[in-house]
Each structure stands twice: as C-alpha cells, then as structure tokens.
Amino acid sequence: MQPFGEIADRVWVARYEAYDVNVTLVEGEAGLLVVDTRASLDEGRAVLADLRRLSSRPLVAVVNTHEHFDHTFGNEAFVEERAVPVIAHETAAAHMRASVPADTTFSSVTAVDLGDRAVELVHPGRGHTGGDLVVRLGDADVLLAGDLVEESGMPSYGDDSYPLEWPWSLDLVLELVGPDTVVVPGHGAPVGRDFVQDQRSAIGVVAQTIRDLAARGVPVDQALGTTEWPYPKEHLADAVRRGYEQLPRSEKRLPLA
C-alpha cells in the first residue's frame, strides 16, 4: 500500500505507523525533497521504496526537522543510495549521531531551490529541541512543523526541550501560517491555524506556570503537585525541571524555609 497521500500540489505526506511519524515528499522540476526519514536504516529504505513508486525524479536533498532518532536515523538509507545533502539546523546537526549526519546546516533561514518552486527552511527559535526547523511551501500554502506541533499526542517535553521559549517560537511559526495553511505536525494528522494557536496557548500556560511557581519560591520538586497544568503531570517532569534550570536568576526566589 502506498502510504504517501497528496495534501497539496506535489506535496505528499506519509503517516507511518511506527512512532506515528510523518514523512513529507515535495516535488519540483529539479527533483524531490524529503523531510524526515524515520527511525532506522530499514525504515529509511522503506521510505525510499515508497517514494520511488510516486516519482522517478532525482533526490535533491533530505531535510531533518530536528535531531530525534524517529526523524533522522533513516538518513543512512538516502546517503547510501546517492550523495544527497542532508540539511538540518546547526544545533540539530551537532547532536546527530555519526552514521546519520546532516552535512548542510544553517542558523536562521535558508531555502532549497526545486526549480519551479522554492522550499524555505526557518528556525523559529528553540522549543521541542534546540534545533527545530519548520519547512514552508509558500506556493502550496503548507507548513511542516516538525515536533514543535503534535497532533496525535501532547507536545513532547524531553530532557532537551526549551519549555520557556517554545511559546515564542510558536508565535513566529504562527506568523507563517495563514487562515487556509495546512500544517503538518511531526506526529499525527494535518491541522490548521486554530489547532496551532490552541497548542501555543497551552504551551504558553506551561511556561507561565513555571515562571509563577519559581517566582513564589516553590521548589522544583513540588512544582508539579502544587497547581493545575494543561497537560497530564506525568508528562511534564522534564518541562518543569528544564524550565526551572532555564529561568533567569532574577525570576527565581529562594524557597521559603
């Protein structure tokens, strides 16, 4: 079965069952761009086989939305087939393992020329990781958000996340999202602007709650149990720990004895 479905002119998304991860294929006159490559060499090879049944155009580049294994470990299959550039944000590239590296990096904004269409890559700031990027397909009104936006689960706060900055990064993402833009999350079904706005609000509440608790002198190990949160507490331990660590000194109070 062909997992890639066309969501806009020559933009196909495959939502693979393993990790429920999305892989996107963009075609232009110059060739194909693949965004994210799944979690292993074998899974990467499966993506290649699936996309070869869609188009015989040459691969122009691979893009990784961030460094996590479920988005990058399949890179090996693409590099194995042909020496295509693998593009990532410089911070993501610095954290990728040696067998699946990104060899082309940028810090703020860059673009890939597919001939009759340009693909813009934007680092909106830190959030899910330090090196998140979003992919903007202006002519198709599509935005690939990576794990800055998640549909099938709550936003994933790991031990490499930036909980306090994530809302601001989503504000920048929202600047790139119009009323009819199709936003493809890292995991789950495509969404629209309202969904991204709602997720930004909830992520903003997490950040503000961390700031408020720290300003009141609530110790980090009591923060989760002290108040209500927009997401289940058991998934916010890293968010709170990282948030406390990343607060400027001026916003912290010594815990009351």
Question: Which residues of this chain interact with Zn ion, rule CB under 5 A?
Answer: 68, 147
- Residue 172 CB, nearest approach to Zn ion (Å): 18
Of 76 and 147, which CB lies nearer to Zn ion in the complex structure?
147
The residue with its CB nearest to Zn ion is 68
Cα–Cα dist 53/230, whole Å? 43
- Residue 154 CB, nearest approach to Zn ion (Å): 13
HSE value, Cβ hemisphere, 13 Å, CA-based, for 165: 19
Q: What value, to the nearest 5°, has the Cα angle with vertex 146 and ends 59 and 50? A: 40
Q: Please, are residues 65 and 132 in contact by the beta-carbon 8 Å criterion?
A: yes
At 207, the amino acid letter reads A
- Residue 160 CB, nearest approach to Zn ion (Å): 9
Coil, helix or strand for 120? strand
HSE value, Cβ hemisphere, 13 Å, CA-based, for 149: 34
Q: Which residues, 6+ apart, have CB-to-CB distance to 256 below 8 Å?
A: 217
Coil, helix or strand for 89? strand
- Residue 27 CB, nearest approach to Zn ion (Å): 25
Of 68 and 123, which CB lies nearer to Zn ion in the complex structure?
68
CA distance readout (Å), 184 to 65, 68, 111, 113: 12, 17, 19, 21
Q: Distance between alpha carbon 180 and the CA centroid of its chain, in Å?
A: 20
Cα–Cα dist 96/152, whole Å? 25
Of 100 and 214, which CB lies nearer to Zn ion in the complex structure?
100
- Residue 102 CB, nearest approach to Zn ion (Å): 15
Of 15 and 68, which CB lies nearer to Zn ion in the complex structure?
68
Of 68 and 200, which CB lies nearer to Zn ion in the complex structure?
68
Q: Distance between alpha carbon 95 and the CA centroid of its chain, in Å?
A: 15
- Residue 256 CB, nearest approach to Zn ion (Å): 37
Of 68 and 117, which CB lies nearer to Zn ion in the complex structure?
68
- Residue 33 CB, nearest approach to Zn ion (Å): 20
Of 27 and 147, which CB lies nearer to Zn ion in the complex structure?
147
Longest Cα pair distance anywhere in the chain, in angstroms?
A: 68
